[in-house]
Amino acid sequence: MQPPENDAGFPPNKPLANVKVVDLGLWIAGPAAAAMLADWGADVVKVEPPKGDPARSAMASILGIENMRSPAFIADNRGKRSVVLELGEQAGMSALEDLLRDADVFVTNIRPNALARLDISPETLREKFPQLIIAQVTGYGSSGPEINRPGYDSGAFWAYSGLAKQFSAETGYPPILPPAFGDHMTSMALVSGISTALFNRTRTGTGCIVETSLLKLGIYAATSDYALRMEFDRPRRPQRRADSESPLVNNYKTADERYFWLLCVEAGRHWPALCHAIERADLLEDERFKRTIDRHKSRAALIAELDTTFASKTRDEWAAIFDEHDIWWSPVNTLEEVIESEQAREIKAFVDLPANQHIGDMRTVAAPIDFDRCASQPAGHCPELGEHSEEVFTHLKKNTT
C-alpha cells in the first residue's frame, strides 16, 4: 500500500515531508538549495517576479531553446510550485507574508540592499515570524564593505576567494570556472545549515537566521592552503603541472591522448610498487628519486620521466596494469564518459524528471545525498512561470478562513 500524501502531493516517508519552504531566489545558489529540499519531500513554493527568474532564459539564445526552458534552470527548480508576485506593490508583499506565515523555511539569495528596500531583511522577518528559518545566501556576506557587490560564483567564490589565483600557474591567467560550480557547492552548504536549524527548532521551538556566502565557501574550499599560509607563513604558490608538489599525485597523458590521475599518496609504499608495475625499476636506483624529499626536489625531472613512460601505452592498457598491481589511480573522464559509466548508473547520479504538459521526459543530475541507501528522486518537473499561483493562494485562503 502506498503511504498517504500530504496536501502538496509528497509521500510522507521522505525526510522533509510536510516541511513548507518559500524560495525567493534568482539564478542558482538559492534556487538549487531549495530544489534539494524539494527532492527530499519539502513543499517548495518558488516566488518569481512577473517576468520570471532570469535564469529561465539565460541560455535560450545560446542553445536555441524555445519558450524560455533552460535545462540548467529545470535542474535547479524541479519539484517546486511557481507563483508570481509583484513585490514592489503592497498586494504582492501581503501575499508573500501570507506564505511566510505558514512556512517553515524561507530561502533567498536576493542581495541584502534589495531585501532591506523591500523591508524583508532577515532581521525584520525574524521579528515577524519567530518560528521561521530564514536561509540566506549572499555573494560576500551580510556585513562588510562588499556586502552589496554582485557575487556570482566566478566572482565571489572563484576570483575574490583566492581559488582562481591558486590555479593560474600554467598560463598566468586563472582558468574559467565551469558554470554554477561554486553556486552548487554553496547551495549544499546552505542546505546543511537549514537541516541543522530544523533539528534545533524541534528542541527550542524557534527558528533562526542561517547564512552562508559564495566567498566563505571559496575560502573554505582552500582550507589546506590557507592553513599552511596562516600557521607557517608558507604559501603554496600556484604550480604548473610539470613541477607540482607531488609527481605521484598528478595527471598524465597516455598514447591515445587520454588522461588519468595518479593517486600514490602513501609515497613510502606506493613508489616501489609503481616503479615495478610500470617496469621502471631503474627509477628506484636513481639518486634523484630515492627518498620522498629527493623526489620533491627533483619533481620536474621525475614528472618528465613518467610523462615519457605513460605516453607509451593507451589508458586502457595502463588501467589493466594499475588494477593488476593495486596502483591507486583514476581516469580523467569527459562528461560523456561519466554519463555512460556503470558507476554513475549504479549510484544513480542521474535521475529522470517526469514529463508534464509542457515538457517531455528529461534526465538530469540527482541531489548528492541518499537516505536509507535510496537515491533522492525529484518530486516533479520544473514549473512553468506562475503555474501554481491560483492553487497556492486558494489553498492559503481556505486555511485562513
Least confident piece of the model among 56-60, 90-94, 307-311: 56-60
Q: What is the pLDDT of residue 9?
A: 46
Q: Which residue has the higher pLDDT, 355 or 385?
A: 385
Which residue, among 106, 83, 86, has the nearest Cα to 33 in the 3D structure? 106
Dist CA 325 CA 193 (whole Å): 43
pLDDT band at 400 (very low <50, low <70, confident <90, very high): low
DSSP 174: P
Q: What is the pLDDT of residue 62?
A: 67
**Residue range 242-253+259-331 in CATH 3.30.1540.10:** yes
Across the range 191-198, mean pLDDT stands at 98
pLDDT tens, 68-84? Answer: 568 899 999 999 999 99
pLDDT tens, 247-275? Answer: 999 999 999 999 999 999 998 899 999 99
Which residue, among 303, 399, 396, 400, has the nearest Cα to 47 in the 3D structure? 396
Q: What is the pLDDT of residue 65?
A: 64
Are the C-beta atoms of residues 327 and 321 closer than 8 Å to each other? yes
Dist CA 167 CA 119 (whole Å): 41
Is the pTM here over 0.85, yes or no?
yes
Which residue, among 77, 26, 29, has the nearest Cα to 215 in the 3D structure? 29
pLDDT band at 185 (very low <50, low <70, confident <90, very high): very high
Query: Would you state the cell numbers that stand for residue 30, as one nine-digit string?
Result: 538559492
Are the C-beta atoms of residues 244 and 306 closer than 8 Å to each other? no
pLDDT band at 5 (very low <50, low <70, confident <90, very high): very low
Helix (H) or strand (E) holding 157: none
CB neighbour list of residue 104: distance below 8 Å, 6 or more residues apart: 19, 20, 21, 42, 131, 132, 133, 198, 207
Q: Which residue has the higher pLDDT, 49 or 372?
A: 49
User: Residue 3 pLDDT more than 50?
Assistant: no
Query: Would you state the cell numbers that stand for residue 359, as one nine-digit string?
Result: 515538457
Dist CA 120 CA 112 (whole Å): 9
- Hey, where are the domains in the chain? 20-221+344-400, 242-253+259-331
Q: What's the mean pLDDT when you consider all of the chain? A: 91
Which residue, among 238, 224, 251, 247, has the nearest Cα to 297 in the 3D structure? 247
pLDDT band at 67 (very low <50, low <70, confident <90, very high): low
Q: Which CATH architecture has domain 20-221+344-400?
A: 3-Layer(aba) Sandwich (3.40)
pLDDT tens, 272-292? Answer: 999 999 999 999 999 999 999
The fraction of the chain above a pLDDT of 70, given in percent, is 93
CB neighbour list of residue 177: distance below 8 Å, 6 or more residues apart: 153, 154, 157, 158, 164
Dist CA 329 CA 264 (whole Å): 7
Q: What one-character-per-residue DSSP string does 49-106 give?
A: -TT--GGGSTTHHHHT-GGG--HHHHHHHTT-EEEE--TTSHHHHHHHHHHHHT-SEE
Q: What is the pLDDT of residue 377?
A: 87
pLDDT band at 8 (very low <50, low <70, confident <90, very high): very low
User: Residue 63 pLDDT more than 80?
Assistant: no
Q: What is the pLDDT of residue 354?
A: 79
Are the C-beta atoms of residues 213 and 153 closer than 8 Å to each other? no
- Amino acid (one-letter) located at 149: R
User: Residue 376 pLDDT more than 90?
Assistant: no
DSSP 243: G
pLDDT tens, 90-130? Answer: 999 999 999 999 999 999 999 999 999 999 999 999 999 99
Q: Which residue has the higher pLDDT, 154 or 358?
A: 154
pLDDT band at 6 (very low <50, low <70, confident <90, very high): very low
Are the C-beta atoms of residues 195 and 371 closer than 8 Å to each other? no
CA dihedral 358, 359, 365, 370 (to 10 degrees): 60
pLDDT tens, 218-230? Answer: 999 999 999 999 9
pLDDT band at 61 (very low <50, low <70, confident <90, very high): low
